[in-house]
A and B are shown apart, each in its own frame.
Chain A
């Protein structure tokens, strides 16, 4: 069975400071990892994904994530946060052995960037 955990319900950061949103996962095969962002009253938007290759993945809006196999983590990072980055962020995992594009989502982390 596949699972994903986002240990923080909310992350507060000052504008211009680095932003990190944590994610850990559990799969039986190889992990395919995704980050999505949700703005108020909108659906989720894809940010980035890790399938294979370079452990550091760069995505939309200046976000990046680092895949760490030994720690089973895929933390989302942004070097300098903007107020407009305030949103709900979801980590998701799919197991290489799972059928049907089954994505398991974490509970979400709300990011609040203060001016």
Chain B
């Protein structure tokens, strides 16, 4: 089954304790992206990657890191989490990074709910 898999689904941690949220897609998609969802704010892009070893900042990159060493994986790293990073996080992928492309619609994972105390 074609899917984007995120782990874990739920995570509670303390301020300053490094954590990684994994994301993997099995569709051979070039484009991958991380979003955070907060009530009333919709989804805001954190980082994105157009291909292996190509990553760039989105709208809210502060406090986050990513890497794209393999095409299928795009982990999100919080080196020193803070309470304002408590949120619902989504990983997404698409075959093409061109919005006008037929292959541009994003496929989303089921989300990771992170709480930082």
User: Could you tell me the dominant secondary structure of chain A's interface residues?
Assistant: loop
Residues 57-72 of A contacting B (Cβ, < 8 Å): none
A14 within 8 Å of B (CB atoms): no
Of B60-68, B71-79, B91-99, the one contacting chain A is B91-99
| Bound complex: CA A98 to CA B97 (Å) | 11
| Bound complex: CA A108 to CA B35 (Å) | 14
Residues 38-76 of A contacting B (Cβ, < 8 Å): 41-46, 49, 51-52
Are B50 and A100 closer than 8 Å at their CB atoms?
A: yes
Given known pairs A44-B90, A44-B108, A49-B105, the reply for A100 and B43 (CB within 8 Å) is no
Neighbouring A residues of B42 by C-beta, 8 Å: 90, 105-108
Identify A105's interface contact among B4, B43, B50, CB under 8 A.
Answer: B43
A96 within 8 Å of B (CB atoms): yes
A86 within 8 Å of B (CB atoms): no
Neighbouring A residues of B107 by C-beta, 8 Å: 46
Q: List 9 A-B contacts (CB under 8 A).
A: A9-B40, A36-B106, A43-B92, A44-B106, A46-B105, A51-B99, A101-B97, A105-B35, A107-B40
Given known pairs A100-B48, A101-B31, A101-B94, the reply for A94 and B99 (CB within 8 Å) is yes
Most buried by B among A41, A42, A44, A107: A44
Residues 85-117 of B contacting A (Cβ, < 8 Å): 90, 92, 94, 96-100, 104-111
| Bound complex: CA A96 to CA B44 (Å) | 19
Distance of B25 from chain A, by nearest CB (Å)? 12
**Interface 0/1 of A93-115, CB less than 8 Å to B:** 01010101111011110000000
Distance of B38 from chain A, by nearest CB (Å)? 9
Residues 9-46 of A contacting B (Cβ, < 8 Å): 9, 32, 34, 36, 41-46
